[in-house]
Structure 1
Amino acid sequence: MKNFIVLTCFLLLIYSCNRSISLQYTPPEIVSGNTGIDLIENSGAGQTVYIIEATGNVEIASYFIGGDDADLLTLNNNTVSLDANPDFEVKSSYSFEVTVSDAEGDISEIQGVSFSIIDLDETPPFVLNFCENGFAGEYPCNNYDLIAHIDLTTLGGDSGNDCWGWTDPASGKEYALMGLNTGTSFIDISDLEFPRIIGFLPTHTTNSSWRDIKTYGNYAFIVSEAPGHGMQVFDLTKLGNVPTNQPPETFTSDAHYDGFGDAHNIVINDAQGYAYAVGTSAYSGGPHFIDISNPLNPVAAGGYGEDAYSHDAQVVTYNGPDTDYTGKEILIGSNQNEVVIVDVTDKMNPTQITKTGYPNIGYTHQGWFTEDQNYFILGDELDELNFGGNTRNIIFDFTDLDNPSVHMNYYGPTTAIDHNGYVKGNDYYLANYSAGIRVIDITAISNETMTEIGYFDTYPSNDNASFNGVWNVYPYFESGNIIISDINTGFYIVRKSE
């Protein structure tokens, strides 16, 4: 009898435990919701549209899809992807069903899921004149179309000089900043068919053929060789507040810096919040440092005057191959008769790293790093005049900043003078005076190869070695629109031919 009681209690205990476990068990539940990942049309096949997530107190063993559009999808473990390249005009939305099962074989409830394809405006961008048979209208060209042109009179000046660009982070609109002998014009280029002059900022003192513009954040910084001009600071966000039906507004500066009078150029390192005015009467014409971290209150921050007059410069936060200078703020000065490399990290104690020359120096004018900072592409403004021959760019090997060397010379197809040049990706955009802009592939620069892949000539009269034609080119708009300032004929927008 005693043994019977013990066995009975043991069986009751097992029953009680099983019943307790049974009460705690729940089937799997999908918790990833009913909304998939919307895709932008024409963004590529095989993109993820949904990731199945489920909970349960038994391990999830399998995932399943079904429903209307399941045949158009692929399931890999718990990830659902769209097989085709999304195209809004073919199919604007998709729906399907998902279930999961656990290790016990229990299946979740069906979860419906849908996602959409985001429609893009696929209207071809406006083109004023296509580049066909070597011409876009009256302009010689190769691989670049003319989008727009505004003449000097309409812009409000007698001659053009520098240009730069700014994109409004709030609206995404692109604006061109066009330098003139009389001041600066601001142009809304978001409507390519009808670019609109928003307004004009007059020179701070007198007219001058030399004006230079750079941006930092939402502000433009403008210098000129006009006596007593100093540095104008202009709040670019005001451009979006000018009504579309209003004629161009005459603006005033939002701040002014008078730590120098005239300056040939201004350089800005976006990463650090410092501007560098070059070619002023201070620091023997070397870079004059200005703290612009508060753009409306620019503050003098020192300077460097140990080398020759600096005509132009580039300043970068260095991340190139010479690890001795990683993270340092490095200035490359184009100083009339030499290239100088200066560590300007400590504004109170800038230190020359080295300086270097090259054969047949005419006037060391301006240069730009390749994006990997291995090479520096220099333009000499007077070598074509002084020594003859075609357009020449001198390429320096900067892999060791203490020991730069000439890597190669690049010669263009014309005798025109080179002015300003900029690198974007594997392309070098050269403002080549009377030969317009030239676009040069630098993919194989390490192998001493540079290849012209396009051009647009705003000065069709000739390609002589003269100071006519293109002063500057700005290639950095995300849209691919390229703006050009021409000394003689004004403002242009061009774009690579499709």
Structure 2
Amino acid sequence: MRLQITLNILLAILFTLFQVTLLSSQTPCENGMAGEFPCFGFDLQDRLSEADLNTTFVNDSWGWTNPDDGKEYAIIGLRNGTAFVDISNPNEIVLIGTLPTHTTESVWRDIKVYENHAYIVSEANGHGMQVFDLTRLTDITATPVTFTEDAHYDGFGNAHNIVINPESGYAYAVGTQTFNGGPHFIDISDPTNPTAAGGYGLNNYSHDAQVVTYSGPDTDYTGREILIGSNANIVALVDITDKANPVEISTITYPTIGYTHQGWFTEDQRYFLLGDETDEIDFGFNTRTIVFDFNDLDNPVLSFEYEGPTEAIDHNGYVLGDLFYLSNYRAGMRLINISGIENGSIEEMGFFDTYPANDSAGFGGGLWNVYPYFESGNIVLSGGGGFFLVKQNSSLGVNDIDNQDISVAIYPNPAIDEVHLSSNKTIGDVKIYNVLGQIVIAKTLLEDGTISVRELNKGVYFVKTEHSTTRLIVQ
């Protein structure tokens, strides 16, 4: 009995040491940095460099959760293929293997997932669409391995991106040499037997798109399959329910167009958040997001524009609940609270910067994509520097995102000499933090009040109220 107790104690100690070892590989965001990376509200779980992934360039990413055991996997686009990474232990991620490119190398490679299969396209000549059965990842014991594709679709050569509507079982390749660069329809209801289903060649070259089975406020289109194309210089809304007869619903433009790049619906399908890839360079904006009101699909309108705190070029952005996860080349992932979108107000509340050198309006070396849809809360970042796995920490708890009982407005933003706070309730204690997490101003306010910020250096600051409402201001 005494021997058994001793063994149990020893096992408990070993297990505790094992847990500590695993946790020690996490790099927490402390004093505004996670190791060498600027951050606010996000810890670095683990990362793989380009060299770790046996490539010289990392581009797109997506994710897959095994429905049988809940294990999570990141899918990372490479110059020379596609990498599959087991992130089920987020502090000790494992490269399982790589699927080589179908033809030649390319900077552009994009992936989406449907029914436990990955669909991969590239701008490499003659690449077509690769199909890979993701359940094969669960049987690998010795890593990394080199995979072969399970099927291939050659209805087009190169493509810029692949879009999938999981509710309909169709994939849409955009930026191909077919249909004038418009969406190329593919039936993937039988995942390893993709078949051509037509296409749509109007409204210019389609650089990116989102396709949904519509459930938004415009009841004229309820249940219809709607494509929203980001088409270089316009946004196009198309009813593609009848694949043999796609019908344009409407198009919309906006002032100072650089390159209409990519956008995403809010979850209620009312608003569409669009990124223009070159407006920061062409017109001198800070990172700009154009917000459209799609309450009436036949008559879309520009609602408002949002500029972030840096000059960085935005790339891909995705909505999850009241949060917008936006990748910026040289300013990393920016987390934007969109709970006030109906009032024309969205605001940054956290970030993880994978490009520490600067936040300038340049392309080289920065973040390409963010995938925020894992149940665990782990977030995949991919681009220059490789693959990063990050997770929101306690400094950005759920209550910090929005508080249903209290509404706090902060203006002007950017702040000039002072910032005004107004609320429907007593605000109470207010603390302003710099990006190092240091309190630079502390004050108590009633329902409305003004705080002088003229003594602060130019930069980014975070305002936290007594009611756990966190807001970002720029001075």
TM-score range, shorter-chain basis?
0.7 to 0.9
Q: 2: CA distance between counterparts of 1:268 and 1:450?
A: 28
Q: Deviations over 1:66-97 (max 9, x none)?
A: xxxxxxxxxxxxxxxxxxxxxxxxxxxxxxxx
Q: Deviations over 1:114-172 (max 9, x none)?
A: xxxxxxxxx89946111111111110000001100101011121001000000000111
RMSD: 1.0
Q: State the Cα distance separating 1:461 from its structure 2 match.
A: 0.4
**Range 228-237 or range 187-196, more displaced:** 187-196
Give the letter for the 1:232 counterpart: Q
Question: What pairs up with 1:149-298 in 2 under 5 angstroms?
Answer: 149-243=47-141, 246-298=142-194
Q: Is the 8 A contact 1:261 1:280 kept in 2?
A: yes
TM-score by length of 1: 0.74
Q: 1: CA distance between counterparts of 2:329 and 2:270?
A: 27
Q: State the Cα distance separating 1:389 from its structure 2 match.
A: 2.1
Q: 1: CA distance between counterparts of 2:54 and 2:214?
A: 39
Q: 1: CA distance between counterparts of 2:262 and 2:180?
A: 18
Q: 1: CA distance between counterparts of 2:108 and 2:129?
A: 13
* 1:476 aligned onto 2:355: no
Q: Aligned residues: percent identity?
A: 63
Q: 2: CA distance between counterparts of 1:416 and 1:287?
A: 29
* 1:436 aligned onto 2:436: no
Q: State the Cα distance separating 1:199 from its structure 2 match.
A: 0.7
* 1:388 aligned onto 2:284: yes
* 1:461 aligned onto 2:357: yes
Q: Secondary structure at the match of 2:314?
A: coil
Q: Is the 8 A contact 1:156 1:185 kept in 2?
A: no
Q: 2: CA distance between counterparts of 1:306 and 1:450?
A: 33
Q: 2: CA distance between counterparts of 1:247 and 1:446?
A: 49
Q: In structure 1, which of residues 367, 370, 381 is the aligned counterpart of residue 263 of structure 2?
A: 367
Give the letter for the 1:324 counterpart: D
TM-score by length of 2: 0.78
Q: 1: CA distance between counterparts of 2:210 and 2:100?
A: 27
Q: Deviations over 1:175-197 (max 9, x none)?
A: 00000100000000001221111
Partner of 2:46: 148
Give the letter for the 2:376 counterpart: S
Q: Deviations over 1:24-75 (max 9, x none)?
A: xxxxxxxxxxxxxxxxxxxxxxxxxxxxxxxxxxxxxxxxxxxxxxxxxxxx
Structure with greater Cα Rg: 1
Q: Deviations over 1:322-378 (max 9, x none)?
A: 000000000000000000000000000000001110000000000000000110000
Q: Secondary structure at the match of 1:226?
A: coil
Q: 1: CA distance between counterparts of 2:30 and 2:177?
A: 48
Q: 1: CA distance between counterparts of 2:69 and 2:232?
A: 41
* 1:302 aligned onto 2:211: no
Give the letter for the 1:135 counterpart: M
Partner of 1:34: none
Q: 2: CA distance between counterparts of 1:482 and 1:315?
A: 23
Q: 1: CA distance between counterparts of 2:72 and 2:154?
A: 30
Q: 2: CA distance between counterparts of 1:398 and 1:341?
A: 10
Give the paired residue count: 373
Q: State the Cα distance separating 1:247 from its structure 2 match.
A: 2.5
Q: 2: CA distance between counterparts of 1:292 and 1:199?
A: 24
Q: 2: CA distance between counterparts of 1:236 and 1:280?
A: 25
Q: Is the 8 A contact 1:341 1:352 kept in 2?
A: yes
* 1:447 aligned onto 2:343: yes
Q: 2: CA distance between counterparts of 1:130 and 1:193?
A: 11
Q: 2: CA distance between counterparts of 1:237 and 1:401?
A: 39
Give the letter for the 1:176 counterpart: A
* 1:135 aligned onto 2:33: yes
Q: Is the 8 A contact 1:263 1:279 kept in 2?
A: yes
Q: Secondary structure at the match of 1:240?
A: helix
Give the letter for the 1:278 counterpart: V
Partner of 1:485: 382
Q: Secondary structure at the match of 1:239?
A: helix
Q: 2: CA distance between counterparts of 1:281 and 1:192?
A: 40
Q: 1: CA distance between counterparts of 2:393 and 2:182?
A: 41
Q: Is the 8 A contact 1:188 1:195 kept in 2?
A: yes
Q: 1: CA distance between counterparts of 2:135 and 2:64?
A: 10
Unmatched runs of 5 consecutive residues or more in structure 1: 1-122
Q: In structure 2, which of residues 245, 252, 260 is the aligned counterpart of residue 356 of structure 1?
A: 252
Partner of 2:310: 414
Q: State the Cα distance separating 1:451 from its structure 2 match.
A: 1.2
Q: 2: CA distance between counterparts of 1:279 and 1:141?
A: 34
Q: Is the 8 A contact 1:149 1:492 kept in 2?
A: yes
Question: What pairs up with 1:20-35 in 2 under 5 angstroms?
Answer: none
Q: 1: CA distance between counterparts of 2:27 and 2:122?
A: 34
Q: 2: CA distance between counterparts of 1:263 and 1:389?
A: 30
Give the letter for the 2:158 counterpart: D
Could you list the structure 1 runs, at least 4 aligned residues long, displaced by more than 4 angstroms after superposition. none
Q: State the Cα distance separating 1:218 from its structure 2 match.
A: 0.3
Give the letter for the 1:316 counterpart: V
